[in-house]
Amino acid sequence: MPGPESIAVSVADLEKRFGSFVAVDRISFSVKRGEIFGFLGANGAGKSTTIRMLCGILSPTSGSGQVAGLDIMRQSEAIKSRIGYMSQKFSLYQDMTVAENIDFFMGIYGVARRRRAERKAWALEMTRLQDSGGMLTGTLPTGLRQRLALGCALLHEPEIVFLDEPTSGVDPGTRRRFWAFIRELAGAGITIFVTTHYMDEAENCDRIAMIFSGRILACASPAELKRTFAADMARPSLQQVFIHLMKSSARPAAGVEL
Residue 101 lies inside a defined structural domain of this protein: yes
One domain, residues 199 and 252:
yes
Torsion angle in degrees (nearest 10) through CA of 109, 142, 134, 80: 0
The CA distance from 55 to 16, in Å, is 14
What pLDDT sits at residue 38? 96
One domain, residues 168 and 242:
yes
One domain, residues 78 and 15:
yes
Instruction: Yes or no: say if 191 and 216 are a contact pair by the CB < 8 Å rule.
Output: no
Name the H helices within the chain.
47-54, 76-80, 98-108, 113-126, 142-153, 172-187, 199-202, 222-229, 238-248
CA distances (Å), origin 228, targets 156, 225, 248: 40, 5, 14
One domain, residues 254 and 215:
yes
CA distances (Å), origin 227, targets 35, 41, 138, 203, 206: 21, 19, 44, 14, 15
The CA distance from 125 to 115, in Å, is 16
One domain, residues 249 and 198:
yes
What pLDDT sits at residue 252? 42
Instruction: Yes or no: say if 102 and 123 are a contact pair by the CB < 8 Å rule.
Output: yes
DSSP code string of 144-183: HHHHHHHHHHTTT--SEEEEESTTTT--HHHHHHHHHHHH
One domain, residues 26 and 102:
no
Residue 232 lies inside a defined structural domain of this protein: yes
How many CA within 13 A on the CB side of residue 168?
A: 16
What pLDDT sits at residue 254? 44
Residue 185 lies inside a defined structural domain of this protein: no
One domain, residues 116 and 72:
no
Instruction: Yes or no: say if 210 and 202 are a contact pair by the CB < 8 Å rule.
Output: no
One domain, residues 100 and 153:
yes
Instruction: Yes or no: say if 202 and 38 are a contact pair by the CB < 8 Å rule.
Output: yes
Helix axes 142-153 and 113-126, enclosed angle (nearest 10): 150
One domain, residues 113 and 41:
no
One domain, residues 168 and 57:
yes
191-196 sheet: strands from edge to edge = 83-86, 160-164, 191-196, 36-40, 207-212, 215-220, 256-257
What pLDDT sits at residue 70? 96
One domain, residues 77 and 194:
yes
Residue 183 lies inside a defined structural domain of this protein: no
What pLDDT sits at residue 168? 77
Domain count of the fold of the chain: 2
Residue 98 lies inside a defined structural domain of this protein: yes
**Percent of the chain that is helix, strand, coil (3-state, to 5):** 35, 25, 35
- The series of mean pLDDT values per 10 residues for the chain, 258 residues long, is 75 97 96 96 92 95 96 93 84 92 94 96 91 93 86 94 86 84 90 93 94 94 91 82 80 46
What pLDDT sits at residue 231? 74
The domain of 106 spans 91-158
CATH of residue 7: 3.40.50.300
Residue 128 lies inside a defined structural domain of this protein: yes
Residue 182 lies inside a defined structural domain of this protein: no
One domain, residues 124 and 223:
no
Residue 142 lies inside a defined structural domain of this protein: yes
